[in-house]
Amino acid sequence: MLSGVALITGAGGCGIGSAISRTFAKSGISKLILTDINEKTLKQTINLIKTNDNDNNNNNDNKIEILALNGDISDTKFIDYLFNEIKLKFGRLDYAINNAGISGNNQSTDKSNLNDFDKITNINFRSLWYCSKKELEIMKNQEFKNPTNERKQRGSIINIASQLGIVGRPDAPIYCASKSAVIGLTRCDAIDASPYQIRVNAICPGIIHTPMTDNSLRPTLAAGTKDMQKPMDLTESVNIAPMKRMGTPEEIADVVAFLSSEKASFVQGASWVVDGGYTIN
Ligand SMILES: NC(=O)c1ccc[n+]([C@@H]2O[C@H](COP(=O)([O-])OP(=O)(O)OC[C@H]3O[C@@H](n4cnc5c(N)ncnc54)[C@H](O)[C@@H]3O)[C@@H](O)[C@H]2O)c1
């Protein structure tokens, strides 16, 4: 379904970014750029891809080239370095998945402070905007991969927003606003990128079983680190969705792969909810 070069941010561990990386690796991609702040969990994702690759390609054909760079996506110097490496090593970018994000501080506006605001919005929105800028600069200046295909695209960007970018919930104003901002950015970038046959869309996951929602899956925090993101009991929230269960990271990854592909060639500026019906209820 896919071919060429793909970038996935927040690719470490066992969350949505890792599932997207593994799904892309199985979908025909030849070059993957994976990045995460956590070097250890980034290696876990790479090991999973390699194990799967070996299982499926015993003759060592069709191996995927992986460029893994760990760093803080809210640091613009790291983003400059990341995109310089992409240009140097691969010279093009067919798919970008802006997935890195953190959950909120579980506080109302009056109880939140500026540090929480800056941290959440810097990672969830400011860095995503800066990555989008770099992705669009590369994509606008590259040739079509399949110039004769009538559904040809120069590139595709998927931003991972949230159902909480569409609806609110108690004690999540900063997180919800950061994800609404991602949806707004997606629409505007899609308008400006359309003349270049670049598609920009968002996915709004519902409650997905990842380290963000399940304490038992979380990597150990460094000693003395403030645990701003400790997941709450989500039973009540899960039951708001008519399907009454959490989604899996793979269920998000499959939609991301489809939406990135030329099969979704007429989907532009959309924010697809993948939420078991949470937002319709
Ligand atoms: N899990 C859910 O229920 C849910 C719902 C809606 C949206 N989302 C969104 O999906 C995306 C992935 O979340 P997830 O649930 O897989 O959680 P996760 O914690 O497993 O994944 C997030 C990844 O981003 C990385 N990351 C965090 N801060 C970073 C930084 N400063 N620089 C680089 N990498 C950083 C983490 O190390 C982690 O690997 C996020 O944007 C999140 O807001 C998740």
pLDDT digits over 80-104, tens only?
A: 999 999 999 999 999 999 999 999 9
Task: Find all residues with CB under 8 Å of 55, minimum gap 6, and list them.
Answer: none
Mutate to test the pocket of ligand 1, among 22, 35, 36, 179 (most ligand atoms within 8 A of CB): 36
Question: In angstroms, rounded to a whole number, what is the distance separating the alpha carbons of residues 127 and 191?
Answer: 20
Statement: residue 116 has pLDDT above 80: yes
**210 CB within 6 A, ligand 1:** yes
pLDDT at 219: 80
Buried b (16+ CB within 10 A) or exposed e, 214-251: eeeebeeeeeeeeeebebeeeeebbebbeeeebbebeb
Helix-then-strand count for the chain, H and E: 8, 7
Q: 84: CA distance to ligand 1 center in Å?
A: 24
Question: What is the third-level CATH fold of 4-280?
Answer: Rossmann fold (3.40.50)
The residue extents of the domains of the chain are 4-280
Residues involved in catalysis: 175
Q: 78: CA distance to ligand 1 center in Å?
A: 18
**229 CB within 6 A, ligand 1:** no
Statement: residue 60 has pLDDT above 50: no
Give residue for tokens 């079509």: 144
Statement: residue 224 has pLDDT above 80: no
